[in-house]
Structure 1
Amino acid sequence: MNAMPPTDAERTSRADDVYALLKRDIADFRLVPGDRFTENEVCERLGVSRTPVRQALFRMKQEGFVEVSFRAGWRVLPFDFDKFEQLYDLRMVLETEAVRRLCAMAPDSNQEALAALAAIWLVPPEARLPDMARVGELDEAFHCTLVEAAGNPEMARVHRDVTERIRLIRRLDFTKPARVDATYEEHGRILRAVLAHRSDEACRLLRSHIGASQAEVRKITLHEVYLARSQARGEGK
């Protein structure tokens, strides 16, 4: 008996899975700016047909992560630092407005979300996680939770899109051990100000925190990207 062809829903689901895996490859430095690959290579590695791979790659092309040459295959796009500057400016606007709104809410609002953040970030130094990659993921979650807790779903949606688009450049910040303690300290100060509803202080601390990250972005070199890939692969140890 012949197998039934995949339904449209199944094709969409597979394309979403491929998309998520390829985006993860970029975030985890398995694919870095300048890398070239073919659709067939992705098909073989992931064990899927060409259709969902092509759908995923064209979606990533629309989002500015990859480009295609019909003779040379696909390429991860180089960093566009002007675009990163614009995205960081947008992130600053969204997050400071979210924090301002959070501080103006009733004291019993968002207790669960803020308590969950406190359990991660308001801990003694000996309880801090040493895993830089994990702290990088928690850093993203911290900022996304603050925006989501402000109660504007459209603001949160735009912020998630910005977060996706700066993920690789942001994760490079967490290849430096000093950033782990600095992030705990800075997040702790921001969170304490939010919990105390000190709006001006929370916004000032947040602007300083994001500004420091933005300044680090301007210093990034391609060498650091390849070094991050070597570290992710466990090389050079």
Structure 2
Amino acid sequence: MHTASNPPASLAAALVHRSRANEVYEELKRDVSEFKLVPGDRFTETEISERLGVSRTPVRQALFRLQQEGFVEVLFRSGWRVLPFDFDKFEQLYDLRMVLETTAVQRLCAGSQAVDTALLAELNAIWLVPAAQRSTDHVQVAQWDEAFHCALVAAAGNAEMARVHRDVTDRIRIIRRLDFIKQPRVDATYEEHAKILKAVQAKRGDQAAMLLRAHIETSQAEVRKITLHQVHLARQAGSTTPR
């Protein structure tokens, strides 16, 4: 007789495979977002299983999940390939992101009791600093930028809006990080984030939304200029940048 603490062997094995598949999925997705795997790269399930030290079953499960999300495709008798960027989809995701974020800052400025002021204080501590105290680590700034936009939406107090925004963020991560290869974009991000936060502090909803919209549109315009050459430059930079 099996109990909750002593599940059938088949179920236990399935749970282990599922756990490992999730780990492989997260690892491969991280490889894509950090440009260790770039559009056009080909690989086999065996190569991945040997590199990660797992069996092929969780690797296959992870790859099918990534295939459903549009990151990779299976090639007949020749393994897998990282798919080219789908710029039409990115455009749509950026449009959705803009709606969510501008709505969020309007709510923040409206003074709702649901606003998470602690989250806003954390953002101020990162972005409202003297120029000499700004981070020059492009990888770190890219992560902070993503956290900034997620925190703005989360601070507005609508959990469902924040959930959808996190999903959008996850799907555009790879191209957003390409925006932080160049130092001028890092400097501009500090300046633009500071202006947005100051407008939120002053409860100027229309101004905050306008600044945020311009900030996202600039990033969206940079996405349209992305070339495969830039992606390979990012991979080279990633191989020499400490994590």
TM-score range normalised by the length of the shorter chain: over 0.9
The answer to whether the aligner puts 1:231 opposite 2:237 as a matched pair is yes
Partner residue in 2 for 1:183: 189
> Which sits farther off after the overlay, 207-216 or 9-18?
9-18
Note the C-alpha offset of 1:59: 0.7
Q: Which amino acid aligns with 2:200?
A: V
- Per the alignment, residue 120 of structure 1 pairs with 126
What residue ranges of structure 2 are gaps of 5+ in the alignment?
1-8
Letter of the 2:213 partner, please give it.
R
**CA–CA distance in structure 1, aligned partners of residues 74 and 104 of structure 2:** 38
SS at the partner of 1:75?
strand
Distance in 2 (CA, whole Å) between partners of 1:105 and 1:42 is 50
Partner of 2:149: 143
Q: Confirm or deny that 1:81 pairs with 2:87.
A: yes
User: Paired residue for 2:13, among 7, 17, 25?
Assistant: 7
Moved more, 89-98 or 153-162: 153-162
Q: Deviations over 1:2-32 (max 9, x none)?
A: x999532222211111111111101111000
Give the drift of 1:106.
4.0
Matches for 1:1-237 after TM superposition, within 5 Å: 7-106=13-112, 109-234=115-240
What CA distance in whole angstroms lies between the structure 2 residues aligned with 1:178 and 1:74? 36
Distance 1:183 1:107 in 2: 29
Distance 1:220 1:155 in 2: 29
- Using the TM superposition, name which of 28-37 and 65-74 deviates more: 65-74
TM-score normalised according to structure 2 size:
0.91
State the shift of 1:160 in Å.
1.0
Q: Distance in 2 between matches of 1:17 and 1:232?
A: 21
AA paired with 1:104?
A
Cα separation, 1, equivalents of 2:237 and 2:166 = 27
Deviation at 1:110, TM superposition (A): 1.4
Report if the CA contact (8 A) 2:98-2:213 is conserved. yes
Q: 1:108 and 1:4 mapped to 2: Cα distance?
A: 46
Change (3 A) 1:108 1:65: closer
CA 1:60 to 1:108, structure 2 compared with 1: closer, same or farther past 3 Å? closer
Aligned-residue CA RMSD (Å): 1.8
Query: 1:50 offset after TM fit, Å?
Result: 1.0
What is the match of residue 5 of structure 2? none
Question: In structure 2, how many angstroms separate the alpha carbons of the residues matched to 1:9 and 1:112?
Answer: 38
Name the CA distance, whole Å, in 2 between partners of 1:108 and 1:64: 36
Secondary structure (helix, strand or coil) at the match of 2:74 reads: strand
Amino acid at match of 1:110: D
Once residues 60 and 22 of structure 1 are traced to their aligned partners in structure 2, the CA distance between those partners, rounded to angstroms, is 9
Specify every segment of 5 or more residues in structure 1 that has no aligned partner in the other structure, as ranges: none
Between the aligned residues of both structures, percent identity stands at 67
Write the distance in 2 (CA, Å) between the matches of 1:202 and 1:143: 13
The answer (yes or no) to whether the contact 2:115–2:156 under 8 Å persists in 1 is no
Distance 1:24 1:50 in 2: 19
Give the total of aligned pairs.
233
Cα deviation for residue 58 of structure 1 reads 0.7
Q: Could you tell me the TM-score, scaled by structure 1's length?
A: 0.94
Q: How far, CA to CA, are the matches of 1:195 and 1:39 in structure 2?
A: 51
